[in-house]
């Protein structure tokens, strides 16, 4: 029988004795003292790193990161391209041989090919997890960030730019040194300038925005956010919205052997519109400033400009939505999609993780509301014929709220077996926190978080953290370190005319279900 544990999102130092009347400190101390039971580690980390350890030649993984006792870390390669970000396992999460990773760099030229043609910065690379060999498979994107392996076994990669797009790649292991002729197109050439067709496809149907994380249902419904800070687009401009792409033809499991068979080829996009009235109310969806969580509908938006259309159609805005994943432990109808809103700790907005339960991802057609007081052209919504008002409904709630230590959440990962959520910060000396699932207590939030990893270089941050399917091994990039000491000939020197980052394997996790 699982004992309920009250939410806490910071960590007591092991040597501190909680005040007799401070129940919150007692709970924090209990969580730290029982870290092996709840998180499969001996003890969590305590104080944040404060003395920088710069990137230099001949370092070990533990020179680069500090991990909780019970965990071990080893360098896979020091030759990943600088600004390596999110990663996807290939060919599967159970026995991966490679990772496929995004490189969050622009598309400027860094050198030339042997025939004199310009060579752009890398956008997507593969890394052999045994040998550490790095191969660039695509160039020409800008700020490649979110990357996933699809259920039909292609790779999708996205750009974190205001006009960022999504590109789908067939057979990534056979691709090598391809370059986009131009962003926003599918035209690619090889290193000799010859056209290559059928291997990369730009997916305009999902729209343009500042992409980061995403997740994809088995049918091809895609959930994603727009990394936009409120007010950045002008006075009273909303923050980034949460979007959902619904394919025109849902994937039915038929093998995808050509990219024109992908469900991402065509479809519609909807943005989440939180309502301040319930789904059964005659005024649902009632939207406006302050309606950020709870039940909401999916309003249709124009893919030509998702951000502007979301604002015009009164979609809900958040503070820089970044990474997002489905909760693998969710077993009810539909999906539970969780994402980070980074916030700004300097403004005492410490960020959050929000989870949205969407019982009918694909919906059933559309429903239009003609109300000139709301929108001169009316608003079209994703429909659900099983709902009393006919709207497809999802419900969002905060599950982690940041504080002075755990803040500015950026990346996100779920540990298989346990369902623990790992929250990765966007900070100097960035930390990684492990957060328990919500238990049987009355709230809807994590039952507590502890710190399991810290980057030791203040110029770097942890990115791309992901677990293999058994929950025992994780990988992480240490991104954009200051490389002044990594001179030519050293193990951290530039590769292929471009600076490098480290990819680290972390082992020693002992996953067990929280309910046991």
The pLDDT tens digits for 466-497 are: 999 999 999 999 999 999 999 999 999 999 99
CA distance to 133, 189, 336, per residue, from 119 (Å): 20, 11, 41
Give residue 4's pLDDT: 44
Residue 252 burial (10 A CB sphere; 0-12, 13-18, 19+): exposed
Phi, psi of 413 (to 5 degrees): -150, 145
Give residue 48's pLDDT: 80
- The answer to whether position 140 is within a domain reads no
Residue written as token pair 């003609």: 370
- The answer to whether position 508 is within a domain reads yes
Are the C-beta atoms of residues 200 and 138 closer than 8 Å to each other?
yes
Residue 373 clears pLDDT 90, i.e. is over it: no
Give residue 444's pLDDT: 94
CA dihedral 85, 91, 93, 99 (to 10 degrees): -20
Give residue 9's pLDDT: 40
- The answer to whether position 361 is within a domain reads no
- The answer to whether position 15 is within a domain reads yes
Residue 308 clears pLDDT 70, i.e. is over it: yes
Model confidence band, residue 12 (pLDDT cutoffs 50, 70, 90):
very low
- The answer to whether position 485 is within a domain reads yes
Collapsing DSSP to helix, strand or coil, 265 comes out as helix
Give residue 363's pLDDT: 98
Give residue 1's pLDDT: 39
Residue 6 clears pLDDT 90, i.e. is over it: no
Mean pLDDT of all residues belonging to the chain: 94
Structure tokens at 170: 């067939």
Q: How many CA atoms lie within 13 A of 143 on its CB side?
A: 13
Residue 59 clears pLDDT 70, i.e. is over it: yes
- The answer to whether position 460 is within a domain reads yes
Range in 8-17, 242-251, 378-387 the model is least confident about: 8-17
pTM of the model: 0.94
Collapsing DSSP to helix, strand or coil, 344 comes out as strand
- The answer to whether position 492 is within a domain reads yes
Give the residue numbers spanning the domain of 443.
1-80+416-516
Range 404-432 average pLDDT: 97
Cα–Cα dist 263/44, whole Å = 43
Range 124-131 average pLDDT: 99
- The answer to whether position 360 is within a domain reads no
Model confidence band, residue 509 (pLDDT cutoffs 50, 70, 90):
very high
Model confidence band, residue 375 (pLDDT cutoffs 50, 70, 90):
low
Range 70-93 average pLDDT: 99
Number of domains in the chain: 1
Give residue 49's pLDDT: 87
Query: Among residues 80, 85, 72, which one has the least CA distance to residue 483?
Result: 80
């Amino acid at each position: 029988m699982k004992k309920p544990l009250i939410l806490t999102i910071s960590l007591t130092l092991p040597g501190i004795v909680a005040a007799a009347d401070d129940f919150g400190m007692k709970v924090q101390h209990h969580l730290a003292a029982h870290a092996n039971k709840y998180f499969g580690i001996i003890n969590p980390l305590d104080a944040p790193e404060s003395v920088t350890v710069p990137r230099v030649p001949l370092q070990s993984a533990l020179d680069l990161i500090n991990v909780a006792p019970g965990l071990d870390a080893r360098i896979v390669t020091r030759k990943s391209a600088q600004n390596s970000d999110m990663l996807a396992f290939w060919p599967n999460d159970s026995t991966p041989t490679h990772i496929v990773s995004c490189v969050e760099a622009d598309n400027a030229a860094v050198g030339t090919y042997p025939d004199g043609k310009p060579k752009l910065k890398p956008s997507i690379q593969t890394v052999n997890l045994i040998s550490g060999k790095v191969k660039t498979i695509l160039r020409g994107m800008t700020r490649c960030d979110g990357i996933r392996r699809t259920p039909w076994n292609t790779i999708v990669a996205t750009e974190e730019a205001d006009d960022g797009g999504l590109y789908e790649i067939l057979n990534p292991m056979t691709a090598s040194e391809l370059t986009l002729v131009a962003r926003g197109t599918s035209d690619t050439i090889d290193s000799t300038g010859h056209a290559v067709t059928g291997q990369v496809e730009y997916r305009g149907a999902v729209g343009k925005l500042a992409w980061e994380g995403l997740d994809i249902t088995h049918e091809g419904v895609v959930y994603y956010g727009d990394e936009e800070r409120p007010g950045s687009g002008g006075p009273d401009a909303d923050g980034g919205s949460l979007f959902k792409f619904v394919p025109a033809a849902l994937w039915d499991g038929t093998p995808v052997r050509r990219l024109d068979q992908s469900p991402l080829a065509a479809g519609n996009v909807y943005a989440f519109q939180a309502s301040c009235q319930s789904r059964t109310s005659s005024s649902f969806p009632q939207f406006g400033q302050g309606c950020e969580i709870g039940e909401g509908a999916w309003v249709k938006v124009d893919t030509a400009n998702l951000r502007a259309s979301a604002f015009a159609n009164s979609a809900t805005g958040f503070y820089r939505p970044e990474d997002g994943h489905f909760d693998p432990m969710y077993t009810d109808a539909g999906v539970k999609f969780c994402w980070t809103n980074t916030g700004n700790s300097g403004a005492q907005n410490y960020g959050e993780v929000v989870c949205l339960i969407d019982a009918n991802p694909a919906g059933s057609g559309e429903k239009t509301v003609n109300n000139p007081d709301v929108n001169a052209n009316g608003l079209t919504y994703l429909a659900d014929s099983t709902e009393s008002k006919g709207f497809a409904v999802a419900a969002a709630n905060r599950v982690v709220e940041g504080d002075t230590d755990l803040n500015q959440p950026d990346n996100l990962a779920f540990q298989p077996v346990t369902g623990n959520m790992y929250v990765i910060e966007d900070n100097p000396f960035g930390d990684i926190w492990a957060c328990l699932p919500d238990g049987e207590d009355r709230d809807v939030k994590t039952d507590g978080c502890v710190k399991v990893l810290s980057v030791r270089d203040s110029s770097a941050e942890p990115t791309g953290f992901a677990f293999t399917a058994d929950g025992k091994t994780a990988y992480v990039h240490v991104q954009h370190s200051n490389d002044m000491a990594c001179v030519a000939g050293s193990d951290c020197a530039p590769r292929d005319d471009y600076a490098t980052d480290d990819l680290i394997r972390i082992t020693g996790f002992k996953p067990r279900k929280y309910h046991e």
